[in-house]
Amino acid sequence: MPPRAYDASKVTFYLDQSTVSDAFRAVTVPPRADAAYRPLLAWMERLAREANLCFSIAHIAEIARWADHGLADALAEWLDGITTVWVRPMLEVMTEEEDYWTAVAAGATPQTEVIPFALSPTGVFSRTSVADSIRAFREPGSISSPAGEELFEQEDNEVRTMLRAIQQNEAWVREQKWSAQKKSNERESARKADLFARARDAAIRRNAAPANAWIDPDGDIQGALVDLVDQDPRSLPSWRIRRDFNDKFDQVARARKPGSRGESKLISSFRDYWHLAVAAAYCDVFTCDQLVYDAIAPARTRLGKKATLAPSKHRGGPVGFVTGLVATWP
């Protein structure tokens, strides 16, 4: 079945790759998955028919990296056989979101609409199939091809370098004996500077169209956007998710030992950043791992989202997780 447009009248689900894979394996290759996930596949098919079941390019990239191409192709065929809604890339949505909320902060009419969902993995209007997308990812030079694994290794090294910088900064702060208040003030200054820059860039983009009402990029709009974010907990939703994830990542990174297994898991989790910002900000029900849950569940609650679930957060293990997930709908 072809993908379809997002239906705002229906509940929206985003299930992380581990959940999707476990559900598919539990039915197609039972020895390789926990039987607790078996009920999910039929439930997901019903979701696809009667609600918004969302996926992202991150799902495609991970499936394309599977060593078992036969199983990966079978999952792609299954995805192409159900009705799907696709989450757009973070950077595209981020720009639209900043433009929209900056206009609101200025008291102007927004000239852009935030469109977090698309008709395919590769764009709002494209209809590329999952199978075609996976084949493209396997092409030489793609990030999921054997040669492309070097890009993942390079990305991991860049994240590792970032971790070292975070750890060195923490050591420097300890040497300075900063008080809790000083640390809080520094975080608040960084938050405001970030929002100032986003407001300025959005105003410049808006002013590029002569028909739009002028917004001074260096004027009151910067403070106005900060005030709006402080007053309206549902403004700039993906920015809030990204910020909370980054804060948690920074906090955990400070406690991880260089070269440890825990650091390796943290590096892997950082890849979630590229798709969780949009999916977690706009989907009603969202599944993830424990680190992501701890980082963004409070923000999703403030955004009024229906449920955030992680297997490790259920005392009943996979059975409890599946039971809790299925209980969210219908």
User: What phi-psi label fits residue 234: left (phi over 0), alpha (psi between -120 and 50 degrees) or beta?
Assistant: alpha
Residue 306 in any domain: the answer is: yes
**Phi, then psi, of 326 in degrees rounded to 5:** -65, -30
Long-range Cβ pairs for the range 289-293 (8 Å, 24+): 289/16, 289/18, 291/248, 291/249, 291/252, 291/265, 291/266, 292/245
Residue 81 in any domain: the answer is: yes
DSSP string, 239-251: HHHHHHHHHHHHH
Gap between the Cα atoms of 119 and 242, Å rounded: 24
How many CB atoms are located within 10 Å of the residue 238 CB? 23
Read off the pLDDT of residues 275-322 as tens digits, 9 standing for 90 and up: 788 999 999 999 998 889 999 999 999 999 999 999 888 778 899 999
Residue 4 in any domain: the answer is: no
Residue 3 in any domain: the answer is: no
Greater pLDDT, 278 or 259: 278
pLDDT of residue 183: 78
Read off the pLDDT of residues 153-179 as tens digits, 9 standing for 90 and up: 655 666 666 666 666 776 676 777 888
Read off the pLDDT of residues 22-76 as tens digits, 9 standing for 90 and up: 999 999 987 777 889 999 999 999 999 999 999 988 888 888 888 899 999 999 9
* Alpha-carbon distances of 50 from 53, 82, 287, rounded to whole Å: 9, 11, 19
What angle do helix axes 261-270 and 149-176 make, rounded to 10 degrees? 110
Judge contact between 232 and 239, C-beta under 8 A.
no
Non-local (6+) Cβ contacts of 101 within 8 A are 202, 225, 228, 229, 235, 236
Q: How many domains does the chain have?
A: 1
Residue 23 in any domain: the answer is: yes
Tokens of 226: 């900060």
HSE of 189, CA atoms in CB hemisphere, 13 A: 6
Structural domain for 37, as ranges: 12-326
Residue 1 in any domain: the answer is: no
**If you search the block for the tokens 């990174």, which residue do you land on?**
253
What angle do helix axes 180-207 and 221-231 make, rounded to 10 degrees? 120
Residue 52, classed as helix, strand or coil, is strand
Non-local (6+) Cβ contacts of 36 within 8 A are 26, 317, 318, 319, 321, 322
**Phi, then psi, of 314 in degrees rounded to 5:** -110, 125
Gap between the Cα atoms of 304 and 202, Å rounded: 26
Residue 245 in any domain: the answer is: yes
The confidence band for 269, taking pLDDT boundaries of 50, 70 and 90, is low
Closest CA to 314 of 46, 42, 36, 28: 36
Non-local (6+) Cβ contacts of 219 within 8 A are none
Greater pLDDT, 150 or 200: 200
Residue 228, classed as helix, strand or coil, is helix
- pLDDT of residue 141 exceeding 80, the answer is no
Tokens of 87: 């989450």
Closest CA to 69 of 5, 119, 137: 137
The confidence band for 143, taking pLDDT boundaries of 50, 70 and 90, is low
pLDDT (average), residues 80-92: 90
Gap between the Cα atoms of 3 and 121, Å rounded: 10
Greater pLDDT, 193 or 273: 193
pLDDT of residue 42: 96
Ranking 78-87, 103-112, 206-215 by mean pLDDT, the lowest is 206-215
Mean pLDDT of the chain: 84
Residue 7 in any domain: the answer is: no
Non-local (6+) Cβ contacts of 22 within 8 A are 33, 34, 37, 40, 318
Ranking 78-92, 267-281, 285-299 by mean pLDDT, the lowest is 267-281
HSE of 248, CA atoms in CB hemisphere, 13 A: 21
User: What phi-psi label fits residue 42: left (phi over 0), alpha (psi between -120 and 50 degrees) or beta?
Assistant: alpha
Read off the pLDDT of residues 176-192 as tens digits, 9 standing for 90 and up: 788 878 878 888 998 99
Non-local (6+) Cβ contacts of 183 within 8 A are 173
The confidence band for 104, taking pLDDT boundaries of 50, 70 and 90, is very high
